[in-house]
Structure 1
Amino acid sequence: MRKQWSVFVVVVLVVLFVNPPTNGLQMQEWWETTNDGLLSYSNGKERVLRAGQRWWDFYLPTKVNKSTECHSSLTTMSEALSTSQLWPIRMMDSWGKSSDGYLHGNFYFVGFYDECLATHSPDSSIHGMPCRVILGQKPKNWTEAEGKTNWPRSPSILVPIDPGPFIPYHLYMTCIPDSCSSTQLKDSLNEVLESTKFQVIFTSCDTEKELSAGDISFIVVVSLLLMLVLAAAALDIYIENTGNTTLAQGRVKYLLPFSAYTNTRKLFQISLDRSPGTISCVHGIRVLSMTWVVLCHQYSMSLISNRMSVSKRVNTFLFQAIMNGYPSVDTFFLLSGFLLTLTTLKHLSKGHKFNIFLFYVHRLIRLMPPIAVVAWLFATVAHLFVTGPFIPYWELQRRGCEDLWWRDVLFINNFLTQPVSLKVRGGCLAQTWYLAVDMQLYLVAPVIILPLFFYKKWGQAFLYLLTLGCIITPAAITYVYDLPPSAQTGGNFRDFNEKLSTMPWCRAGPWIVGIWLGYIQYTHGDKKIKMQPWQVVTGWTLAATTGFLVVFGMWSYSTKPPKAEYDIITQVVYGGFSRPAWGAAVAWVIYACHYGYGGLVNSFLSHPGFQPLSRMTYTVYLVSLSMQEVIIDGIRIPHYFSHINKIIETCGALVISGIVAYLVVLTVEAPIIGLERILLRPDVKKQRPANPNPVVSESNQGQDNLSFNSEMQSKDPHTRTNVGFEGVTAL
């Protein structure tokens, strides 16, 4: 097998960079010719010219009809070469040529993209146009449509997808005159390769980007929103400095929720309150979980040059924290059930009625607009920031947002995952499957929570049955469909994802645990809980051990190749218990920290510095994954995979996503929260802080529009089940 692979590599290299194999040019000649183009500029022009003449047919559409404008441009280019003009030499210099480390997995010959774009003839009649070509052996079951959909990429590090028959391919970039087309290049190359067993799998060329109607509409709407938030900020500052409360209570009250001044101040406000009703450790848990999610996503996005060495780097024991990072999302399910239950029961205990209409409407109008705006962003203007050899990856994402945004907005993308065509992915904001599941659980929440208040014994019995069901259901599905215990332990990832991982009845385990935690904390109230030292030690030991086993317990089964094969007991037990068990471990952390048994853990998680970041985790979650793809797909050369590089990439992605998330907060999320409060809850009194930096409790935060009112001491069950912004999710 190794010998056959070596022969294939040699054949591919020869086919790519010389005349067709019938010419008989040997590998050594090709190697010398390639290196000619890498010499210093002082004597490099002749060598580039000589090398280009040998490669001409594989980089230019030389077989086009002589009557076409493309052929005329190629003739002009050839004549310019004969007189040693620089501009055609620069076009050839930008071609993707043999890179170091081909046998180490560096299969991308990307050339120099920007050099091609900057090249033009002296009279500017011809401009360089970068094109990409995927060349390879075509299996019998491969179609051109599949080639366009499955544009080759380094296999995901995190998902062991079974590729089926091995499909050898080679990607290289070329630079052709802009009067030519991708179709002409493809047809010409296929004619050149007609006598060989190789074919063109895919070609595409990049033309100058133009603003579409969608781009223009997005820019106009966002510009108007930005002007609105600035105008509201100016008015807000004027009212605060003049003390004109009459003006603030007039019609301009509908404008004030857009104030960038107040919303920014409240977003970054830090409360030092340590009253018994403040559950401050949740801030740190949310920020750390969000960072964990982004880090795992960053590892899953890989355009890398050292593919053959990846397996060695990711088979380590500690890398399970990335390979099996799915519990990071289960933390948010736990927080969602916990905070929703706690705020609802507190609201009912004060004699308020439960308004089922507001319960659902409040949630929808606060979740939907940010999702819609973010999907609109990535369906339109985001493509203006993606250039380079790997644009086709982003085009699949963009088309998904253009055609399937409604799946995300309607919270059904966890059920509808299939693409509608071969050129479109199965959705837009892939990570919003969590929001869909959380919304579906939210729909049935009153049926579970209200009996705990009105019919305590029956409610508790029902909750016990649901807890048991949330363990049995995923275990049974795992057994019936013979699914792996974890996504990384083999099997078909798509089946695992569609039948288990994104289904609400399989992800409800930690959410139900959160309801238990909310109910227990509600019954205990803010009273000091007395625990014996052995109880505290036992609780922390069990929580730490459980969390450790959930994350690292599958290591022996998820290495490549696996160190052991899982048996049916491991399959069913882990499949059924892992998610509720993780929820229970995190629930103990919250419980112990809140009641004074958290020690250094509570000091860290409750640090006030987490509060501003905690308030933005919802919008960061919405924008981060697609923003990471914008960054990755816009690179010029493949990255060298290493853990340090991935950490650096993650830090950059968090910063850029944070900036975009902040703009979404100012223009969409915070204003909608303020308007919703005015229109649907006019009985809630406004409170304006007496000074710009007040020290207030989490229940108040001194906010005009309560946009960032934390539910940690929420007075309203219809407020957000989220630390930071009321009414969204545990994010």
Structure 2
Amino acid sequence: MKYKIVTVIILVNAIFGNCHVTSKTKNGDPTTSMPLVNQAQNVSDIKSGEKKKDLVKIFNLNDSPVYLDDVLFSLKNQNWTEEEQPCLHTTLLLLHNLQNFTLWAVWNWDAISSEPQGLLYGSRFQLGNFDQCMSAPWYKNQPELRTQYCLADIVLERTDKPVKKRISDPFDPYQSALNLLEYQSVFRRPLNELTWGVCVPVVCQPKSVERLMGTLLAHSHLGTAGLRAHISVNDPCQRADKSMQFDGLFFAFIGVMGSLVVTALICTFIKFKKKELNDNKIRDNIIVAFDIKTNANNLLKQSGEGLEVFYGMKFLTICVIVSAHQYGIFNGGPVSNGTKLDEDILTILGMIFLHEDIVVDTFFLLSGFLTATFIVRAKKLPNLFYLFVKRYVRLVVAYAVVIFYICAIFPYTGSGPLWNRAIAGDTNQCRKNWWLSLLMLSNYIDSENICLVISWYIPCDFHFFILTVTLYWFYKRCPTAGKILAIFVTIAAVLTPGIINYIYKLPAIQLFTYDFITNPRGPLQFHMTYIKSHTRYAAYLIGFFSGYLYVYCAASDNFNKIPKKWSILGACLSIFVMGVVMFTGPMFLWRSYDVLESAVYAALNRPVWASSVALLVMCLSLGQVPLIKSFLSWYPWVPLSRLSYGLYLIHTVFIARNVYVTRNPQHHDYINIMTYCLGIVCEGCLAALVIWLFAEAPIINLLNICFKFSVNKQADAKAAENTSTNEEKYKTFNRSHIQDNLPTAIQIDSSKI
């Protein structure tokens, strides 16, 4: 009986003890409790309920101050320097008010991710709530409560020294989680690296922020294993009271583009009102050059050279490149399922994204092909200087507009936890090396700071055009020596990438792994073989030779048509070889490295791809391949293909903007990627259309006007010189004849002869 009474007393004390949730902390601050009104309401609801005899569960909120007390104790017992004292005092005040559940303190602390989440599944970015940190309602009236948002980069390493052994299954559930954190793979992202966003008082310096992040990390679940954390705050913290100021470049861009738009609108209006214009007047030619309707119609013109398949091939190629860049840039940003992305690399679709860089060689081949068809069909070789200038202007106008936009406007188009870090990757480099880009030297000089990573293609194309046209000019002057030189250059173009790979022991190709997409300017291979003109020339040369062969076959009566059977067979063979090249490249990720094998593949994979594309072009243009030929020759591809250059230049800017304004990690799946790609293609085409109508087409037209009147002036001068010479000869002949045969009494007025 005594034991029963004791048991009842203990239960009564436990029940009444749990009903009271207010207490004192060791610092003497009252903690927050559940309001008594709510407690009474809950008790009355329970009493009126059906289950009156059920035991009521009361949630004890006093467990949370234990965490805050530990944080306070840890912060107080660190060696803070004199300049860090204001940050310490403000942070302690924040934590004390947080224990009191004061609004401003809870608001600021609520904007912080209390501990990393999803790190083992590849969620590297722990960003908290950026907008809550930056947009408190009282910031304008209470400046002492202002905070700043800082990003800390953290690298974790284990403090114990386990026996190193090969891990066959990094996801063995019964092993230590430390093994997974330190697991390294050539295509998997490192799981021991994270970027953590924190909302701290404005008086805190980067060193103080590192202390706070170290304390929070130590009290998280990652601190239970004794991990050592290397924390660094390298980027300037963002403050709500420091908005970005518009600089001179911003207003210069607005002024230049605004002037071009106004000029185009005025010229379009004048041309609309004035139906007939004189082609021999410079003023009327300038009006036509800026006419929006004329320039828009030029996008719709279809050439009848038998190469209509180029339109579809060109636009679909840029769509593949956009999708690959969307996949890569999205993968390098905040994603919640990064581990799943890494696993997808081993799938067929993932391997396509790994080696999508080979698709760019299609552009080189098409460019060389068109160069050959133009220059070979010319009855007389045009002036080389005019050709080079026209090619330069064709490439540089849209390029300059995009660089100008990145330097002047792009920094103001977004905000977010990662925004300043992201735009610095392109804006700073473009502001520093814009002149190298416009001089077509960016892929050779200071390529570590190349403006707009994808722009390496442009100087390569320009260099290829100059060198190829010069070689053809030399061939026309000295056929035998020209052929020998062409053979030598072709062999050198094919072997050079392999030789460089062999000397420097580089990987077979530059694969788009996680390390590369997060830092594309970093790898040695990117600068040694990927962006250099002398290592990418083979595809352009193959295109030029293919174009030369096409012109010869099209003009011949015997080779101007390929039988349907052979054209289908050739098309199937070319597609098969392209697939082999595409899927064999990623296999070097899990093959043991062999320097000779890698060098051979580096030398041959791009020429083989280009030859396959050339074979497909020849079969489609000179033969009959049902469905494929009609699909690629579809008329809507015509304007889209002409906008593909502008789309190529601008699409990564739009992708980066969409990825780095995100506030939280995004879930990745292929439906989302496809949706994003469609949006980027549409936005990019609209931007390319604007650049074409108001900048690219007018400036190209003005250049043609300069050449037109320059040539006309030279022709007129030459004609006048010939006329003057003939007239002088006529005068001399008639004067001598008349003077010899007429009587001397008759005076001859030579001016009237």
Do the structures match in fold with TM over 0.5? yes
Match of 1:398 in 2: 427
Q: Is the CA contact 1:437–1:504 (under 8 Å) kept in the aligned structure 2?
A: yes
Distance in 2, Cα, partners of 1:526 & 1:652: 43
Distance in 2 (CA, whole Å) between partners of 1:218 and 1:620 is 20
Find the counterpart in structure 1 of residue 171 from structure 2: none
Question: What corresponds to 1:129 in structure 2?
Answer: 148
* Match for residue 503 of structure 1 among 508, 522, 532: 532
1:660 maps onto 2:660 in alignment: no
2:573 — aligned with what?
Answer: 542
Separation in 1, partners of 2:509, 2:652:
22
1:168-567 alignment to 2 at 5 Å?
168-177=192-201, 179-183=202-206, 185-186=208-209, 189=212, 198-202=229-233, 204-207=236-239, 208-239=243-274, 243-246=275-278, 249=281, 251-267=283-299, 269=300, 271=302, 275=304, 277-301=305-329, 302-303=332-333, 304-347=335-378, 349=379, 352-391=380-419, 392-419=421-448, 426-453=449-476, 456=479, 459-488=482-511, 494-526=523-555, 529-532=560-563, 535-558=566-589, 562=590, 564-565=591-592, 567=594
Displacement of 1:617: 1.3
* Paired residue secondary structure (1:130): strand
The AA in structure 1 aligned to 2:584 is G
1:284-342 deviation per Cα after TM superposition (whole angstroms, max 9, x unaligned): 11111111212222222122222223321111234322111122111111112111121
Using the TM superposition, give the Cα deviation of residue 110 of structure 1 relative to its aligned residue in structure 2, in angstroms: 0.9
Q: 8 Å contact 1:133–1:173 — kept in the other structure?
A: yes
Rounded to whole Å, the distance in 1 between the matches of 2:412 and 2:129 is 19
Residues 198 and 353 (structure 1), Cα distance of their counterparts in 2 relative to 1, 3 Å cut: closer
Letter paired with 2:135: A
- Kept in 1, the 8 Å contact 2:307–2:621? The answer is yes
Give 3-state SS (helix, strand or coil) of 2:200's partner: strand
The CA deviation at 1:216 is 2.5
The residue number in structure 1 matching 2:676 is 649
Q: Name 2:740's counterpart in structure 1.
A: none
Q: Aligned AA for 1:324?
A: H
The residue matched to 1:245 in structure 2 has which SS?
Answer: coil
Task: State the SS of the aligned residue for 2:269.
Answer: helix
How many percent identity over aligned positions? 21
- Kindly indicate whether residue 627 of structure 2 is the aligned counterpart of residue 600 of structure 1: yes
Q: Residue 638 of structure 1 aligns to which amino acid in structure 2?
A: P
Q: Secondary structure at the match of 2:656?
A: helix
Distance in 2, matches of 1:48 and 1:674, equals 71
Aligned length: 605
Deviations 1:106-151 (A, max 9, x none): 23221111222221328343444322223445999xxxxxxxxxxx
Cα drift, residue 554 of structure 1: 3.0
Q: CA deviation at 1:538?
A: 4.3
Cα displacement (A) at 1:505: 2.4
How far apart, in 2, do the equivalents of 1:225 and 1:131 lie?
41
Partner amino acid for 1:360? F
- The corresponding residue for 1:719 is none
Tell me, what secondary structure is at the counterpart of 1:565?
coil
Alpha-carbon distance in 2 for matches of 1:379, 1:58: 44
Greater displacement, 381-390 / 192-201: 192-201
Report if aligned partners of 1:186, 1:200 keep a CA contact under 8 Å in 2: no
Q: Which residue identity does 1:320 align to in structure 2?
A: M
Q: CA deviation at 1:355?
A: 0.9
Task: Call closer, same or farther: CA 1:614–1:84 in 2, change over 3 Å.
Answer: same
CA distance in 1, matches of 2:508, 2:197: 42
- Amino acid paired to 2:109: M
3-state DSSP of counterpart to 2:198: strand
The one-letter code of the counterpart of 1:319 is G
3-state SS of the aligned residue for 1:438? helix
AA aligned to 1:573 is: V
Distance 2:277 2:644 in 1: 33
Query: Structure 1: which 5+ runs fail to align?
Result: 1-22, 24-42, 141-154, 420-425, 686-731
Which residue of the partner structure matches residue 423 of structure 1? Answer: none
Alpha carbons of structure 1 residues 250 and 105: separation in structure 2 relative to 1, 3 Å: closer
Q: Which amino acid aligns with 1:257?
A: A
Asked if structure 1 preserves the Cα contact closer than 8 Å seen for 2:277 and 2:284, the reply is no
C-alpha distance in structure 2 between counterparts of 1:255 and 1:49, whole Å? 75
User: Which of these two proteins has the greater Rg computed from alpha carbons?
Assistant: 2
Deviation at 1:67, TM superposition (A): 11
Name the CA distance, whole Å, in 2 between partners of 1:652 and 1:97: 35
Inter-partner Cα distance in structure 2 for 1:635 and 1:222: 29
Per-residue displacement from partner, 1:496-532 (whole Å, max 9, x unpaired)? 3222222222211111111111211222345562434
Question: Take 2:600 and 2:66, find their aligned partners in 1: how far apart are those partners?
Answer: 66
Determine which structure has the larger helix proportion and give its number. 2
User: Shift in Å at residue 175 of structure 1?
Assistant: 2.3
Q: Secondary structure at the match of 1:131?
A: strand
Q: Which residue number corresponds to residue 619 of structure 1?
A: 646
Cα deviations by residue, 1:695-723 (Å, 9 ceiling, x for unpaired): xxxxxxxxxxxxxxxxxxxxxxxxxxxxx
| Structure 2: distance between partners of 1:484 and 1:66 | 49
Q: Deviations over 1:251-299 (max 9, x none)?
A: 25324423334323433x264x7x4x24111111111111121222222
For structure 2, the residue ranges without an aligned partner over 5 or more in a row are 1-24, 26-58, 160-180, 219-225, 517-521, 713-753
What letter matches 1:251 in structure 2? R
Contact 2:153/2:194 (<8 A) preserved: yes
Letter in 2 for 1:131: C
Distance 1:44 1:650 in 2: 50
Q: TM-score, normalised by structure 1?
A: 0.73
Match of 1:579 among 579, 603, 606: 606
Does structure 2 retain, via aligned residues, the 8 Å contact 1:289–1:328? yes
1:94 counterpart residue number:
111
In 2, distance between residues paired with 1:461 and 1:538? Answer: 33
Distance in 2 of aligned mates of 1:671 and 1:73: 59
1:149-168 superposed matches below 5 A: 160=186, 168=192
Partners of 2:214 and 2:337 in 1: how far apart?
Answer: 33
**Are residues 189 and 510 of structure 1, via their aligned partners in 2, closer, same or farther at CA, if it must alter by over 3 Å?**
same
Change (3 A) 1:475 1:69: closer
**Native 8 Å contact 2:361 2:539 kept in 1:** yes
Paired residue type of 1:113: F
Decide whether aligned partners of structure 1 residues 591 and 405 sit closer, same or farther in structure 2, where only a CA change above 3 A counts: same
CA contact (8 A) 1:290 1:617 kept: yes
